[in-house]
Copies of this chain bind each other. A is one copy, B any other.
Amino acid sequence: MPISAQRVILPAQTGRALHLNTGEVLRIIAVEAQQVADLALFRWDDLRDGFSPGRTIDYNERITVKRGDVLYSAESVALAEIVEDDVGVHDMLLAPCSEAMFERRGEPAHPSCHANIASAVREFGIEPPRVTATLNVFMDVRVSPGGALTIHPPRSQSGDAFAIRACCELLAALTACSSELTNNGRCKRIAFEHTVAERDRG
């Protein structure tokens, strides 16, 4: 039987790291509509290795992800499976927003997903330059036939959820995306639940 998980609120523009055992579920909930949550994943048994969009795109043969898909590490290790997805539109083409990115836009010292994740995983020995790629949950990035890329407001509605089940022991880091532009003008909170898996599940 699953142990019911407590819902934790992540205030706007903040992040959190958490440890997941194999089989455990991390569920991200859109408390308010139109808010992106950036998710970083690292292998607990070798924190140098983590989520790789390039490997995930290769093995799924798609630049998008959907329920049932597996997220892979650079070293080709299956990290997590998507087990719930109310929205179906997420991004893994773009790097997490960063202080340097905001500086380029003329907004120095802006909070960022990169800084939030880097700060949350630092105590595990992961240095900021190692935070390179995230799954940008609920982010709507569209690619034109010519390859041009545009960012649209997230399609998530209040209550929508997205969940992964860990395929191996993981360090996850989650942040409520800090970019006003990406989140239809206002950065909002998100919530998550960390559920221990049913022991007898396959």
Contacts and interface: CB of A to CB of B under 8 A. Distances in A.
Give how many copies assemble into the complex: 2
B49 A129 contact: yes
Given A59-B104, A143-B63, A149-B62, A54 B129 contact: no
Given A94-B58, A95-B55, A48 B147 contact: no
Interface centre among A53, A74, A131 (most CB of B within 10 A): A74
A129 B75 contact: yes
B48 A129 contact: yes
B94 A132 contact: no
A52 B127 contact: no
Interface of A: 46, 48-49, 52-55, 57-59, 61-64, 74-76, 93-96, 98, 100-101, 103-104, 127-133, 143, 145-150
